[in-house]
Amino acid sequence: MGTEVIRFLNYLRPQFRPQFLRPQSILAYALLIFIASCGSSPDELTQNAGWETDIQWLADSLPNLHYNLFMYEPEDSLRNRLCRLEQNLDNLSDMETVMELTGVLASMRCSHTGIAFWNYSDWKAYPISVMWLDEGLYVTVIDAEYSHLIGSRLIEYGGYPAFEAAAAMTEMFPATNDVVRRTRAENFMMMAYPMEALGFGNADSPVSFSFLEAVGDTVNIQLSAVDLSTANMEGFHDCESVTIPLWLDSDDFYWYRHLRERKILYCAYNSCALMDDYSMNDYVEDLRELIDLEHVDAVVVDLRRNSGGNSLVAAPLISWLGDLSENSGIRLYLIIGRWTYSSGILNAIEISEIPGVIVFGENTGGAPNHLGEVRTAQLPWSGLSVSYPTKYFQRVEGEGTTMRPDVQIPLDAGMLFSGENRILDAIYELSASYE
């Protein structure tokens, strides 16, 4: 699998380092000594008492560390769910308890507030990646043996509707909008042990997957969970049947194409970072010179792949767009999407505020107003890592949980696998209507 595939698929999966849990505090060892002196089963009580220690920490200590754990959901919601979990510990495996704890924190909807559940045990995954498109979950990377299934829709996962499996994983991620949950779920829903704990698949046996191909045929295969670092995977970038659309034509931080027949200057801004041999000032100068030489009716700036970096990098570009708005008569358009985050969304807001700019695309995963400056702590018994934000950043009035385009055009299978440029088509039609 090429590095460009890994970078595009929401940077695919983190590099997980399996960790085996063990008591990590004086309190935990004290509990062990106490339980050993009781008449009940030491192993059972040790586990339950340990998890109860972690539950109590989440209820009492995390709110004091967090910027505002109850910003979106009331305190009673957290305590009631933790109480129900504590009462049900006898019926849960350790992995199920981890996922339950993860879901409880995610239910508070505070960004960056969660448990690193992937560090609980050995990491294995089914050799397939999907993307949540407008029509459903589509295969973007898979074991090379089944490369013919790239671009097909995943419809069943271990005998259950694939949507149900994805929806279960969405509940594990804290976020202020559904876009984030979906992009996280598509990256983690092939992890074998967490998904087994959620009721889907079997980490130690082959699992059935069903796909609906573009021609209408249904294909069923069996996949076993493996270490993906040793798997032979193929991505849609390398698939002969896929036509890569313009917006995926380059992984450069910033680049452009002159669409001469449409009189459009397309400017991709993929990362808030500087290229080694091509400054942002040089980039803007090239854009300026092209407009001086060619007939351009519209400039399109595409930030749908921009997940952030240094927001100041775009200053020359934004300044130039402002000059165009005031002096040129050229129409300006902005494209945003699910991977527009952090400094990328800050730049998107700045561009959208330039007079005359019309915004196309999807709701952003990034939130204009968001919790940040993240720190981590460890649960006292299990040692699981808990992340929490310590600061709130407000960029717009109101809740500001996502940035919405003026014209919604969701990402669909044709736009990813068939080279369709539906957003540019819509922009061209709108631009032509002004003539």
pLDDT digits (tens, 9 = 90+) for 26-61: 333 333 333 333 333 444 447 899 999 999 999 999
Domain ranges across the chain: 26-117, 122-238, 246-366+402-433
More confident site: 59 or 371: 59
Considering only the top CATH level, what class is 122-238? Answer: mainly beta
Model pLDDT, residue 176: 84
Q: What is the mean pLDDT of residues 154-174?
A: 97
Instruction: Report in angstroms the alpha-carbon separations of 283 from 210, 310, 407.
Output: 46, 17, 28
**CATH topology identical between 122-238 and 246-366+402-433:** no
More confident site: 208 or 230: 208
Q: Which residue, among 159, 155, 183, 156, has the nearest Cα to 169 in the 3D structure?
A: 183
Model pLDDT, residue 15: 29
Model pLDDT, residue 11: 32
Q: What is the mean pLDDT of residues 120-146?
A: 94
Instruction: Report in angstroms the alpha-carbon separations of 328 from 61, 163, 194, 292, 353.
Output: 57, 48, 55, 11, 17
Q: What is the mean pLDDT of residues 129-158?
A: 97
Contact between residue 417 and residue 61 where contact means Cβ atoms under 8 Å apart = no
Contact between residue 54 and residue 377 where contact means Cβ atoms under 8 Å apart = no
57-61, 142-146, 396-400, 401-405: segment of lowest average pLDDT: 396-400
Q: Could you give the CA distance from residue 243 to residue 390 in angstroms, rounded to a whole number?
A: 44
Question: Which of 24-29's residues contact partners 24+ apart within 8 Å by CB, and which partners?
Answer: 24/378, 24/380, 24/381, 24/382, 24/383, 25/380, 25/381, 27/53, 27/380, 27/381, 28/53, 28/380, 28/381
Model pLDDT, residue 32: 34
Q: Which residue, among 205, 215, 332, has the nearest Cα to 267 in the 3D structure?
A: 332
pTM for this predicted structure:
0.86
Q: What is the overall mean pLDDT for the chain?
A: 89
Question: Which of 85-92's residues contact partners 24+ apart within 8 Å by CB, and which partners?
Answer: 85/55, 86/51, 86/52, 86/55, 89/47, 89/48, 89/51, 89/52, 90/44, 90/48
Residues in the chain: 435
DSSP letter, residue 191: B
DSSP letter, residue 418: B
Burial of 127 (0-12, 13-18, 19+ CB in 10 A): buried
CATH architecture group of domain 246-366+402-433: Alpha-Beta Complex (3.90)
Is 399's pLDDT higher than 90?
A: no
Model pLDDT, residue 120: 86
Contact between residue 331 and residue 298 where contact means Cβ atoms under 8 Å apart = yes
